[in-house]
Structure 1
Amino acid sequence: MENGKIVALEDRIPKLKEQRRRKANRRLVILLVLFFIMIAAIAYTQSPLSHVKTIMVKGNEVYTNKEIIRKSSLTNHSNIWKVNQKKIARDIEKLSEVKSAEVMVHWPNTIVITVKEFKRIAYLKKEQDYIPVMDNGKLLNNKKSQIIPVNSPILFEFKEGPALIELIKSLETLPAEIINSISEIHYTPTKTDPYHISLFMNDGFEVSATLRSFSQKMIHYPSIISQLDPNKKGIIDLEVGSYFKAFEEAEGKEGE
């Protein structure tokens, strides 16, 4: 019934057929679109378009980009859909100087590898070479150089072990201004103190200390030298308490 009038069934049949035809056409279009999308996706995954095109490496200093990429096993033939981000990160973290790694996929075909390396804290002098010392206490023997490093303490007689690890922990807690004022650190253990060290400062002073209390006492170094005559150099003893002994006095006692 339309507007109070009775509509004959034979008049409604064409409209119903038209509605059904439109619905069927919409379904057919949707199915065809889904079909072509599926075909395009399959073709894409099997074509060079789905291969990794760009591999970016960030945060690396110790290792080159080539070394990181080689460890990741990624190439320009790798399928970006099959990239296992966690596995690649674990493989890169097997490198001794890498603290952590993160692998991100940037569509359509870019991989970004971000690494965090252990820091170089100091350099160990061994014969004619300078070997980097990392903040995990490891020595980079394969990165040794004969060039004197700048603004880094030079270590003598240390080797991988508890004393070196204790020194690294201490250095990491000290301000940069104090680290930069240290020229050399010599490992000089005694019978009573296996953690004894001797420091030679850039300002001409010498420091005698033990690693057991080194960081707690060395932080006061600027305050200590501000109370001393800059023209009168000597040894600042930080082992028990803090006291100063001029080189002339030390030499005089040795002569006696």
Structure 2
Amino acid sequence: MRKKNVVSIEDRIPTLKQERKKKANRRLLFYVSIFFLLLSVIVYLQSPLSDVRTITITGNSFVSDKRVKEAIDLSEGTNIWTVDKNGIIQAASSNPAIKDVDVERQLPWTIELHITETELVGYVHKNDDVYPVLGNGNVLTERPESSTANGNAPLLINFSEKTYLKDMAKELRSLPVSIRKLISEIHWKPEKDNKHNILLYMNDGNLVDGTIRHFADKISVYPSIVSQLDPDKEGILHIGVGAYFEEFESKESEAGERSSHDN
């Protein structure tokens, strides 16, 4: 028979003591680490290290950083953990150009504001400048641009009554950008029995006679109708009760048509 190796308890005692000591040291190191971590957090929270030093703002093009900071009234030096995120959102959103705001804390001392602005749908012309019109109908009168719009949105002309401007802006907001870019100008042409009458000048040389009511739905047929026409011929598309295209008989009649609508 093979003889078994037997280790006496006396021989194992030093090994057991060493293992217990290692476990105790690891446990002590863990508790000491937790203690210093908590101490560091307390020091950070109670010291100027947790005060706001930087406020970053992204996503804004219509509203300047300065205007946003003035609206939220958040001064550098405020403890980052006492910042009222809901209060900032409410204050910043009071600006008509701002649709939504997301506020984030970036440790150790930065507050980040991610802004979503209300969509640009057009421009209005005043004096020698044009001003952006937002999808909610607000005109950014404090942000003049060059004497002509940039082509990304139509120029809204003669919208002297704010109600109809807001209705027009709402319809444009519902349009795909691809169709909105086809429109050069929209003239408000109120008539005695139709205050919603409008005339559109398209970038391809055609005109569109329509109404503000349900404009987004009715103008959506424009690309398909034009695609079936002779590209060398221009005319006026009527999108009232139905939709039909009327070709200009001659350059003279086209000029007369444009002149009669402009008067």
TM-superposed CA distance for 1:187, in Å, is: 0.4
Q: Which residue of 2 aligns with 1:48?
A: 48
Note closer, same or farther for the CA distance 1:228–1:80 as it changes in structure 2 (3 Å cut): same
Following TM superposition, the consecutive aligned residue runs of length 4 or more in structure 1 with deviations greater than 6 angstroms are: 36-39
Q: Which residue of 1 aligns with 2:179?
A: 178
CA distance in 2 between counterparts of 1:43 and 1:172 reads 51
Question: Structure 1 length normalisation: TM-score?
Answer: 0.77
CA distance in 2 between counterparts of 1:53 and 1:88 reads 16
Q: Which residue of 2 aligns with 1:69?
A: 69
TM-superposed CA distance for 1:56, in Å, is: 1.8
Q: Which residue of 2 aligns with 1:150?
A: 150
RMSD: 3.0
SS at match of 1:245: strand
TM-superposed CA distance for 1:46, in Å, is: 4.1
234-243 vs 204-213, greater mean Cα deviation: 234-243
Amino acid at match of 1:127: N
Q: Which residue of 1 aligns with 2:244?
A: 243
Identity of aligned residues (%): 37
Note closer, same or farther for the CA distance 1:38–1:239 as it changes in structure 2 (3 Å cut): closer
CA distance in 1 between counterparts of 2:81 and 2:238 reads 63
129-138 vs 155-164, greater mean Cα deviation: 155-164
Q: Which residue of 1 aligns with 2:210?
A: 209
Q: Which residues in structure 2 correspond to 1:118-157 (within 5 Å)? A: 118-151=118-151, 152-157=153-158
Q: Which residue of 2 aligns with 1:83?
A: 83
1:57 aligned onto 2:57: yes
CA distance in 1 between counterparts of 2:241 and 2:83 reads 58
TM-superposed CA distance for 1:67, in Å, is: 2.4
Q: Which residue of 2 aligns with 1:228?
A: 229
Amino acid at match of 2:52: V
CA distance in 1 between counterparts of 2:215 and 2:100 reads 30
Contact 2:119 2:134 in 1 (8 A): yes
Q: Which runs of 5+ in 2 are unaligned?
A: 1-26, 258-263
126-135 vs 98-107, greater mean Cα deviation: 98-107
**CA-to-partner distance for each residue in 1:145-190, whole Å, 9 max, x for gaps?**
2342222101101146332222222222323222111111000011
CA distance in 2 between counterparts of 1:216 and 1:96 reads 26
**CA-to-partner distance for each residue in 1:75-131, whole Å, 9 max, x for gaps?**
332211321111122111122211222222122222111122111111012232211
Amino acid at match of 1:229: D
CA distance in 2 between counterparts of 1:188 and 1:97 reads 28
Note closer, same or farther for the CA distance 1:87–1:214 as it changes in structure 2 (3 Å cut): closer
Amino acid at match of 1:150: N
TM-superposed CA distance for 1:37, in Å, is: 7.2
SS at match of 1:140: coil
Contact 2:120 2:132 in 1 (8 A): yes
Question: Structure 2 length normalisation: TM-score?
Answer: 0.75
Note closer, same or farther for the CA distance 1:170–1:94 as it changes in structure 2 (3 Å cut): closer
CA distance in 2 between counterparts of 1:164 and 1:180 reads 18
SS at match of 1:167: helix
SS at match of 1:144: coil
177-186 vs 232-241, greater mean Cα deviation: 232-241
Note closer, same or farther for the CA distance 1:89–1:174 as it changes in structure 2 (3 Å cut): closer
Amino acid at match of 2:173: E
Q: Which runs of 5+ in 1 are unaligned?
A: 1-25
TM-superposed CA distance for 1:43, in Å, is: 4.3
Contact 1:138 1:160 in 2 (8 A): no
66-75 vs 209-218, greater mean Cα deviation: 66-75
